[in-house]
Amino acid sequence: METLRQNLARAQGSRLALVGLPWDGGSSFLTGSAQAPPRIRAALRSPSTNSWTENGHDLDRPGLLADLGDLDLTDPETAFGRIQEAAGLVAQAGLKPIFLGGDHSVTLPLIRALGRAHPGLSLLQIDAHPDLYDHLEGRRETHASPLARIMEEGLVERLVQVGVRTMNGHQSQQAERFGVEVFQMAGLDRGLKLEFQGPVYLTLDLDGLDPAFAPGVSHYEPGGLTSRQAIDLIQGFEGELVGADVVELNPVRDRHGVTAMVAAKLVKELAGRMLGPAGS
């Protein structure tokens, strides 16, 4: 954590922070997403593209996006605590964070910190899965259950899920229990306009996109969002975006780095959304 503090000190004057979370201890079926943060960074720096957001920010300009490096999450006993502490430190420094997962279980400790830092926080989730399991194979802190824990702990005022296409009976009951607003892919309005009062955190599971657009994930679920739809959701909702994560890239399955490039594009547009229109 000392390295993060040193990097935060050097990041004074920046507006946004990038933090890598190399963790897949909550994964089921396949591991590999712990390898994702450096792949997304490499895609962000790829000479095949550039550093500009669609709303006119050059993220290479000093004072915009500070890369704080990856956390050391090698000890599974302390990983969640370290993630929570790091998120709290970034928030205390006044930076809006973008976290690079890692599997989706990391969202729980992130929101444990940021829910306290931003009273009245709403959570917008782009995902193929509701991630509302009470437990998976006897475990309660997996990538299939972070949203259940978040809602049980009362960490957010509102949870809105977009792109879901694996809702089962148990998770449907959980969604009703917690008052989750679910926009499933079946019948999704392409002109969907979401409005939030107060601060918003966006958690973006890459399997929310159709495998045609993001094949480098552990859980293929056809019938999902296009990359353009995901970008439109990022750009189009009403509310203040105060933090985000991009999770579930699995480099083991990411042939030619296609999904890493998609993840990098989404990171850029999340950053652009947090910064607001250039010149405003």
Please give the structure tokens belonging to residue 249: 């890239």
Does the model's pTM come out above 0.85? yes
User: What's the rounded Cα separation, in Å, for the pair 22 and 35?
Assistant: 6
Burial of 267 (0-12, 13-18, 19+ CB in 10 A): buried
| Strand, helix or coil for residue 241 | strand
Domain boundaries, the chain: 2-275
User: 3-class DSSP state for residue 3?
Assistant: helix
Q: What is the pLDDT of residue 71?
A: 98
Looking at residue 278, what is its pLDDT? Answer: 87
Annotation: CATH topology of 2-275 = Arginase; Chain A (3.40.800)
pLDDT along the chain (280 residues), means of 10: 93 96 94 98 97 97 97 97 98 98 98 97 98 83 93 98 98 98 93 94 98 98 98 97 98 97 98 90
Cβ–Cβ < 8 Å for 28, 142: yes
In the chain, the largest separation of any two C-alpha atoms, in whole Å, equals 51
Whether residue 239 is preceded by a cis peptide bond, meaning omega within 30 degrees of 0, is no
Q: In the prediction, which pLDDT does 136 show?
A: 74
